[in-house]
Structure 1
Amino acid sequence: MTRTRDRLQSVVHGAALALIVGWVLYVGKQVFVPMVFSVLVVYVIIGLARAITAVPVVGPRVPAPLRYGLSVLGIAFVLAAGVSLVVNNVGRVVQLAPIYQDKLLERIQQGAEFFGLRAAPTWTALREDFLEQVRLQDLIGPTVLSVTGIGMTLLVVLLYVTFLLVEKRVLAAKLRNLSDDPRDVSRIRQILDSINIRTGQYLAVKTLINVVLGVVSWAMMAAFGLEFAGFWAVVIAVLNYVPYIGSFLGVLFPVAWAIVQFGDPGTVVTLLLLLTAAQFVIGNFLDPFLMGNSLNLSPFVILASLTIWGGLWGIPGAFLAVPITAVLVIVLSEFRGTRPIAVLMSRNGNLDVGRTAALPADAGGS
C-alpha cells in the first residue's frame, strides 16, 4: 500500500513539474527559441569542421581555428543567399501583386462556373465582400515586418553561437570539475557524447536530404516555368525539417501558386503529381536509407512532439520538436527511474542504438 502511494505521489509530482516547466517554456519562448536554435547552429558548425578534417590529404592539415572559420563562413553565405532570395522575391511579388490578384479572381470565377455557381449569391458575396476588399499589396507590409523580425532573431542567434563556440574551449575542464567522483563525470560525458552524435548526425543527414529535395523540386518547377521556382524550392527544403506536415505544405504552397499562375488543370495536376512523387520517393526511400535509426523515435512520439512543441513555441517549435525530443529520450534513458518512459518513446524499444557506452550498473536513483 505504501509503495503504491509513493508511486502515485511521484506521478502527481511529475505531472505538476511538467505543467510548471511547460508554462515557463511557453511564457519564455522569445528567450528560449533563439537559444535552442543557436545550439543547433553550433552542432552544424562543429559537424562541418569535422567534415573538413575528413577531406583526404588537405583536411587533417587545416588548423582547428581555420576549420571553424570556414564553417562559419559557409553557414553565413547560405543564410545571406537565403535572405537575398526572400528579399528579391518579396520585391517581385510587390510588382506582380495586381496582376496575380486579377488572376486569383479569374481562377475563382472559373471554379464557380465549373460548379455552376456563377450567379450564386455565395460567389457574389465572395467577390464583393471579401476579394475586392483584400489587396495583395496590403499583405506585403506584415510579411516585410516578419522578415525583419527573423533578421533580428538571426542576429541574436549569431551572438549566442559566438559565445557558445568560445565556451566550447573550456567545456572539458568544466565537466571534469563537476564532481570529485570520476564515475559521475564519465556518466555525464556519456550522455553528452550520445546527444552530440545523434543530434549532429540527424542535422547533417537531414540537411543533405532537404537540399536534394529542394534541387529536385526546383528542377520540376523550373521545367514548368513556375514563377519564383527558386524561392519555392527553398521553402520546400526548409519545411521538410517539420515531420509529416512539412511535406504536405511543401507541395500545397507551390501548387496553389501554380493554380493562380497557369489555371490549366492539366499543368497543375501534373506538377502536383511530380512534387508529390518527389516527396514520396525521398521521404520513404532516401530518407530511411540515409537516416537509418539515428534518432530512434516512435512515429507517434514524433507527431505528438510536433503538436506539443508547436503549441508551445509556434512555427519554431515545429522545427525544433524532433531534436528536442531526441535529446529528451537520451537523457531519460540514462536513469533507471525514467528508462521505461524512454523505452515507450523509442521506435523499437532498443535504447542501445547510438549509445556510446552501456548504462552503469548503479544507474538511477531513489
Structure 2
Amino acid sequence: MAITADIKSESRKRLADDEAPVERTPAETWQLIANVSTTGLFALAILAALYLMRDVAVPVILAWVVANILLPVIKRLEKNGIPRIPAVAIVTLAMMAVLLTVVALLSLPLTYWLGRATELGALIKGKLQSITEPLDFLKQITSAIGQATGEPGGSGLHVEESTNIVGGIISLLTPAVTQGILFLGALIFYMIYQAKIKERSVLILPNRDARLTALKIFSDIERNTTVYFGTFTVVNICLGLVTTLLAYAAGLPNPMLWGVLAAVLNYIPYIGVVIMVAVLFLIGLFSFPTTGEALIAPLVYIGLTTVEGHFITPALMGRRMTLNPFAVFLAIGFWTWMWGPIGAFVAVPILMSTIVTFRHLFPRDDPELPG
C-alpha cells in the first residue's frame, strides 16, 4: 500500500510539473522571437518569389495537381503490362483529346452567348429596372455632389481603342501559349520521373530520419491529393450531368454548355457555386418573360450543390479529408489574389499539402479526456 501511495504521489508531481508554465530566461525569449521573425521573413520571401514568378510557378503547380489526378490511371496501365513512358503518352493524349472535344462541342454556343453579351445586358437591365432605379438615383446624387465640389461626376468613361489589333492579339496569345507548353512539359516529365524526383529531392536532407519523414510527407500529400481530386472529379461529372438535365428540363438553351460549366466551376469551392447560380439566373432572365421563372433553375441548383457539398462529398471522402471551411475560404481568397483563377483552382491542394506537412513535422498527441 505504501509503494502504491508513493507511485501515485510521484505521478501527481510529474503531472503538476508538466502542467506548470515553462519559465524562459530573457536570452531564451529573445532567441525565440528571433527564430519566429526569421521564419516569418523567410515565408514572406517565398510568397514574394511565387508572386513574381507566377508565369512559371502557376503552370508547374497546375501540372503537379493534374498529374496527381492522372497518376492512378498510369499505375493501372503499368499493372496491365504497359511501360511507364507509353502509359504517360496514352493518358496525356487521351486528356488532350477529351479537352479538345469538349472545346469543339461548346465553342459554337459559347461564341453565340459571348456575341450576344450586349443584348443580354440590355435585356437584363430592362427586367431589373426596379433594382437599377435606386442606383440611378444614387448616381445622380454623386454627380451633383461632384459638381458642387468641383470634381468630375464620374460619368465620363473613356474607352481607348487599340490601333494595333494584331499586336494586341499576339501580346495576349504569347503568354498563354508559353504557359501552356510549360504546363504540358511539366506534366509529362513529372508523371514519367515522379519516383526519381522524390528520391533525389530528399537527398539534400542531413540524415535518414529526415529523409524518411520527407518521403512520408510526399506520399501522404500525393495520396490525399489523388483521393480528393479523384473523388471530386467523379462528383463534378455527376453534377455536370444533373445540371445539364436541369437546364434541359427548365427550358434553358444550350443545356450541355451549362452542365460543363457547372462541372468545371465546382472545382472552386464557394466561388464556383456563386458564379454558376448567377449564370443560370442571367440566362433565365434572357430566356423567360418573368423573374420567377428565371429563378427556378438557380434555386434547384443551390439545392443540388447543398446536398452535394454537405452530404455526398464528405461521405465519399471521409472525415480525414474534411477541411476547415473557413481555412478553405481564406486559402481561395489568398491564392486567387496571388495567381488569379488558376490560384483559386490550386488553393485547396496547396492548403491540403500544408496541413499534411505540419501534421508530420509537428505531430499532436491528443490527451485522453477524464471520464
Percent identity among equivalent residues?
21
- Give, as a single letter, the amino acid of the residue that structure 1 aligns with 2:211: V
State which of 322, 343, 350 in structure 2 corresponds to 1:317. Answer: 343
Q: Deviations over 1:45-89 (max 9, x none)?
A: 212224557xxxxx6455555543432233122221233245323
Q: Deviations over 1:336-366 (max 9, x none)?
A: 4xx57xx9xxxxx89xxxxxxxxxxxxxxxx
| Structure 2 contact 336–344 (Cα < 8 Å) conserved | yes
- For 1:298 and 1:219, how far apart are their aligned partners in 2? 32
SS of match in other structure, 1:333: helix
Cα offset, 1:22, TM superposition:
1.6
Q: Deviations over 1:152-183 (max 9, x none)?
A: 53332111112223323634653685568543
Cα RMSD of the aligned pairs, angstroms, is 3.7
Cα offset, 1:148, TM superposition:
8.1
| Structure 2 contact 55–179 (Cα < 8 Å) conserved | no
- Give, as a single letter, the amino acid of the residue that structure 2 aligns with 1:154: G
| Structure 2 contact 198–215 (Cα < 8 Å) conserved | no
- 2:279 aligns with 253
Q: Which moved more, 1:60-69 or 1:243-252?
A: 60-69
- For 2:219 and 2:29, how far apart are their aligned partners in 1? 36
| Structure 1 contact 104–260 (Cα < 8 Å) conserved | no
Cα offset, 1:219, TM superposition:
0.8
Matched, 1:161 2:178: no
- 1:326 aligns with 352
Matched, 1:71 2:91: yes
- For 1:33 and 1:294, how far apart are their aligned partners in 2? 27
| Structure 2 contact 88–191 (Cα < 8 Å) conserved | no
SS of match in other structure, 1:293: coil
- For 2:133 and 2:278, how far apart are their aligned partners in 1? 25
- Give, as a single letter, the amino acid of the residue that structure 1 aligns with 2:259: A
| Structure 1 contact 103–261 (Cα < 8 Å) conserved | no
Rg: which structure is higher? Answer: 2
Between Structure 1 and Structure 2, how many residues are aligned?
A: 321
Matched, 1:44 2:54: no
Structure 1: gaps (5+ residues): 54-58, 135-140, 344-348, 351-366
Structure 2: gaps (5+ residues): 1-24, 141-153, 160-165
Summarize the Cα distance change of 1:174–1:256 in structure 2 as closer, same or farther, 3 Å threshold: same
- For 1:179 and 1:111, how far apart are their aligned partners in 2? 62
Summarize the Cα distance change of 1:248–1:146 in structure 2 as closer, same or farther, 3 Å threshold: farther
- Give, as a single letter, the amino acid of the residue that structure 2 aligns with 1:42: A
| Structure 2 contact 332–348 (Cα < 8 Å) conserved | yes
- Give, as a single letter, the amino acid of the residue that structure 2 aligns with 1:37: L
Provide the TM-score with structure 1 as the length reference. Answer: 0.75
Provide the TM-score with structure 2 as the length reference. Answer: 0.74
Matched, 1:33 2:53: no
- 2:323 aligns with 297
SS of match in other structure, 1:263: coil
| Structure 2 contact 71–191 (Cα < 8 Å) conserved | no
